[in-house]
Chain A
Amino acid sequence: MDLALSDLVLKGPLVFLASFLSSFLVMPKVIDFSKRRGFVGRDVHKDGQPVVPEMGGLGILFGVLVGFSAHCLASLKIDVCLVVFTSCILIAGAIGVWDYLKTLSGVMKTLLTVIACAPIVIGWLISPSEVMIGRPELPFVGRLRLTIVYWALLPFVIAVPANAVNMIDAFNGVMPITSIFSVLALLISSLILERWEAVFMCLLLLGALMGFLPYNLYPSRVFAGDVGSLAVGAGIGAIAVLGRLEVVGIVSLMPQIMNAFYVLASVRRLAERKQIAERPTVVLGGNVIAANRSEKAPMSLANLILSKGPLREPDLVKAYAVLSFFSFILALVTACFMVMK
Chain B
Amino acid sequence: MKTLKYTVDIIGIMILAWGLMLFLLIVVNNVVVDLRLPIEGFEGSLINNALQLAVGGALFLAWLFVWYKVTVYCRKRRLRLWSRGPQ
* Residues of A that sit less than 8 Å from B by CB: 138-141, 144, 148-149, 247, 250-251, 254-255, 258, 261-262, 265, 291, 293, 299, 301, 303-309, 311, 315, 318-319, 321-323, 326-327, 330, 334, 337
Contact = CB atoms under 8 A, between A and B. Distances in A.
Contacts of B78: 304, 307-308
B14 A323 contact: yes
Interface string B44-75: 00000100010000000000100110011011
Contact-size category for B: 20 to 34
Given A251-B18, A304-B78, A308-B6, 7 more contacts: A254-B18, A255-B14, A258-B10, A258-B71, A299-B75, A307-B78, A337-B22
Most buried by B among A139, A140, A251, A304: A304
A interface SS class? helix
Contact of B14 (A291, A299, A326): A326
Contacts, number: 89
Most buried by A among B3, B49, B72: B3
B37 to A, nearest CB: 17
Interface string B10-53: 11011101100110011001000000000000000000010001
Interface of B: 2-7, 10-11, 13-15, 17-18, 21-22, 25-26, 29, 49, 53, 64, 67-68, 71-72, 74-75, 78-79, 81-82, 85
Most buried by B among A301, A309, A318, A330: A309
Contacts of A301: 10
A323 B7 contact: yes
A311 B71 contact: no
B interface SS class? helix
Nearest to B53: A149
Nearest to A331: B18
Nearest to A327: B14
A157 B14 CA distance: 21
Report, nearest first, the 9 A-B pairs whose CB atoms are least far apart: A307-B78, A318-B3, A141-B29, A322-B7, A307-B79, A307-B75, A308-B6, A319-B3, A308-B78
B67 to A, nearest CB: 7
B30 to A, nearest CB: 9
B14 A258 contact: yes
Contact of B82 (A251, A308, A315): A308
Nearest to A147: B49
17 contacts: A138-B25, A139-B22, A141-B25, A144-B29, A251-B18, A254-B18, A304-B74, A304-B75, A308-B6, A309-B85, A315-B2, A315-B6, A318-B3, A321-B3, A330-B18, A334-B18, A334-B22
